[in-house]
Amino acid sequence: MDWNEKYIAVDWGTTNRRAWLVDPSGNVSARFADNLGLMAVPPGGFEAAAADIRQQLGPWPMLLAGMVGSDQGWQQAPYVACPASAKMLADNIVWIDDNRSGIVPGVCQTSGHPDVMRGEEVQAIGAVNGSLVSPDAYICHPGTHAKWIRLERGQIAGFTTMMTGELFNLLRTGSILSPQMQSEAVDGDPFRAGLDAAFSGASLSSALFTVRAQYLLSNRPGDGASYASGLLIGSDVRAGLAQASPGEEIALIGRADLTRLYALAIESAGHGYRLIDGDRAFLAGIAAIVPYLEKERIS
Amino acid sequence: MDWNEKYIAVDWGTTNRRAWLVDPSGNVSARFADNLGLMAVPPGGFEAAAADIRQQLGPWPMLLAGMVGSDQGWQQAPYVACPASAKMLADNIVWIDDNRSGIVPGVCQTSGHPDVMRGEEVQAIGAVNGSLVSPDAYICHPGTHAKWIRLERGQIAGFTTMMTGELFNLLRTGSILSPQMQSEAVDGDPFRAGLDAAFSGASLSSALFTVRAQYLLSNRPGDGASYASGLLIGSDVRAGLAQASPGEEIALIGRADLTRLYALAIESAGHGYRLIDGDRAFLAGIAAIVPYLEKERIS
């Protein structure tokens, strides 16, 4: 495959996928997104699902990242260990589909606490490669499993996953707090009260129950979703910032609805932040990997 | 009703109920337990369910405590505010069923953080009334919503609820950690590693994710249930003990399977504990309330 002409970059997650057609100068000439995430692909259906991408964007070589490389994805791409660079990601790509498609490996942390990521590594590498952050940035990437990623000299030196989004969803859908958590989590007094409780070091488990107690004592619905969100995001940010240098600016990458609440939390804790567009970082990450492919896989 | 002859004490919770026939000297002459908790009683079915108790234990006056007094129970018994004594519980009993049955109110905390309990107040009052603890004891009551209760001069001065049991169940049944949490939580290295993480102040949300990461990196199932249990109980105990005097002995009331793990956590944190039988405390609590009824409700 010739990566010098055009290539397709695919961010293929659990619930959706996004694909871009990129030309040699890095410009995006076409793109699409759909809900055909891992959960929606039938067993054995990945080849057809990938063919569908080329149907829409053309017969180009393709680099894929995200959960598509997990054991439930198209093909498993084993994790590379921190510290991880663009070259290490390139060297450990799993080639499939007659070598026309490469799956970028995830990154794991084996020293310190055990941890894994899959997809965020491309955005983290891309943020520095695209000159969106310094080579020694500290990244906050909100999500179901939020990541705090330390870059050192442009490599992923270490990271920590927080189950913040998943805990919020579990509480909202299946807990005794569900009836008080049905509205959307938004900025306001309840969110900030949640932040305050988290920053004061309150126990998550007891502070969460005040949502229920408050409702029973006042018999008013309140805004438990925003309070719980403030509490969970505040705990997340508190733990994440404990690894930051004093006053260090945080690179915040992710969906606008989540980064807004995280930005508030980071600011409230006395740190600045820089908002990074996730798609732009992703494409810059793929662009950081491709040059190694040109050298090593000229066919 | 004449409370001087015999009476029936009922602890009626969400998933089961227990009833005892008590004679004047406080001896239990009959008892039974079944799964007819609140969730199993059909709408409008509480009178029949209560009649069923008298069918089994005789036509005696009856005191009921627990979720039976909630808005989903037989009849709502509003909370009394801390500090709460046996006399206050007696004075605020809700009489129903031709005054043959009294529902003991729950207790709420309105100064400090908002909190509520329903059922544990009888055991707490009973523990001191039955001389099982000192009038200034600090009680740990494990459960779905664990309670830490401060007694002062034999009254419930304040308390804190931890959603520990519910969080464990949510994670076990519906989270990405579920596959690694199917075995029973037991004492052992994983449980103690969870305790250590909690006592070191690790973020709950990131420490929990190591269960998943460890599994993905080792490809072995591990014992995520025990680790998560150690982490959650450790966080609970750490927050609870922050309100204890240095080295204070903790009164531990509850089900044997839970108190065992909490006892380990409390010991690991450098505190002693005294194990209190929950049923004995409950009956002593009802026995603390009854004398006020004799005085006030002689018919």
Following DSSP, what letter does each residue of B143-187 receive, concatenated? STTEEEEEEETTEEEEEEEE-HHHHHHHHHHHSTTGGG--SPP-S
Give the residue from chain A lying closest to B231, CA to CA: A205
Buried b (16+ CB within 10 A) or exposed e, B77-98: bebbebbbbbebbbebbbebbe
Tell me if chain B has a CB within 8 Å of the CB of A213: yes
Query: DSSP character for A245?
Result: P
The three-state secondary structure class of B132 is coil
- Report the alpha-carbon angle B157-A176-B73, nearest 5: 75
State the best of A141, A149, A166 to mutate against chain B, taking most chain B CBs within 10 Å.
A166
Confidence (pLDDT) at B228: 97
Per residue in B199-230, pLDDT (tens digit) is 999 999 999 999 999 999 986 667 899 999 99
Confidence (pLDDT) at A298: 44
Give which of A226, A172, A240, A234 is closest to A197, Cα–Cα.
Answer: A234
Dihedrals phi, psi of B115, to nearest 5 degrees: -155, 160
Among the partner residues A164, A214, A232, nearest to B114 by beta-carbon distance: A214
Contacts of B108 in chain A (CB under 8 A): 213, 216-217
Confidence (pLDDT) at A232: 98
Give the residue from chain B lying closest to A117, CA to CA: B213
Dihedrals phi, psi of B7, to nearest 5 degrees: -145, 165
Among the partner residues A110, A236, A239, nearest to B217 by beta-carbon distance: A110
Q: How far apart are CA B150 and CA B164, in angstroms?
A: 19
Query: Does domain B7-123+282-296 sit in CATH 3.10.310.70?
Result: no
Averaged pLDDT of chain B = 94
Q: Based on DSSP, count helices (H) and strands (E) in chain B, helices before strands.
A: 9, 14
Nearest Cα of chain B lies from the Cα of A54 at a distance, in angstroms, of 31
pLDDT at B2 over 90: no
Tell me if chain B has a CB within 8 Å of the CB of A15: no
pLDDT at B159 over 70: yes
Give which of B290, B189, B191, B170 is closest to B234, Cα–Cα.
Answer: B191
Fold match, A7-113+285-296 / A162-276: yes
Nearest Cα of chain B lies from the Cα of A198 at a distance, in angstroms, of 11
Q: How far apart are CA A39 and CA A49, in angstroms?
A: 12
Buried b (16+ CB within 10 A) or exposed e, A153-181: ebbbebbbbbbbbbbbbbbbeebebeebb
Residue A262 CA to its chain's centroid (Å): 14
Among the partner residues A212, A217, A235, nearest to B203 by beta-carbon distance: A235
Residues of chain A with pLDDT under 70: 1, 219-221, 294-299
> In the CATH hierarchy, which top-level class contains the domain B162-276?
alpha beta
Buried b (16+ CB within 10 A) or exposed e, A90-112: bebbbebbeeebbbbbbbbbeee
Tell me if chain A has a CB within 8 Å of the CB of B235: yes
State the best of B159, B214, B216 to mutate against chain A, taking most chain A CBs within 10 Å.
B216
Q: Where are the domains of chain B?
A: 7-123+282-296, 162-276
Nearest Cα of chain B lies from the Cα of A126 at a distance, in angstroms, of 24
Query: DSSP character for B273?
Result: E
Per residue in B252-263, pLDDT (tens digit) is 998 888 899 999
Contact B235 A204 (CB under 8 A): yes
The three-state secondary structure class of A284 is helix
Tell me if chain B has a CB within 8 Å of the CB of A222: no
Q: How far apart are CA A46 and CA A73, in angstroms?
A: 8
Fold of A7-113+285-296: Nucleotidyltransferase; domain 5 (3.30.420)
pLDDT at B54 over 80: yes
Tell me if chain B has a CB within 8 Å of the CB of A114: yes
- Report the alpha-carbon angle B51-B53-B57, nearest 5: 120
Q: How far apart are CA A275 and CA A259, in angstroms?
A: 8
Confidence (pLDDT) at A112: 87
Residue A22: C-alpha distances to residues A95, B49, B60, B130 (Å): 20, 70, 83, 77
Q: How far apart are CA B250 and CA A168, in angstroms?
A: 32
Confidence (pLDDT) at A299: 44
Nearest Cα of chain B lies from the Cα of A294 at a distance, in angstroms, of 31
Residue B138's region, left for phi above 0, alpha for psi from -120 to 50, else beta, is beta
Dihedrals phi, psi of B102, to nearest 5 degrees: -120, 135
Tell me if chain A has a CB within 8 Å of the CB of B203: yes
Contact B205 A236 (CB under 8 A): yes
Q: How far apart are CA B78 and CA B100, in angstroms?
A: 19
Q: How far apart are CA A8 and CA A162, in angstroms?
A: 31
Per residue in A256-283, pLDDT (tens digit) is 888 999 999 999 999 999 999 999 999 9
Confidence (pLDDT) at B25: 84
Confidence (pLDDT) at A68: 96
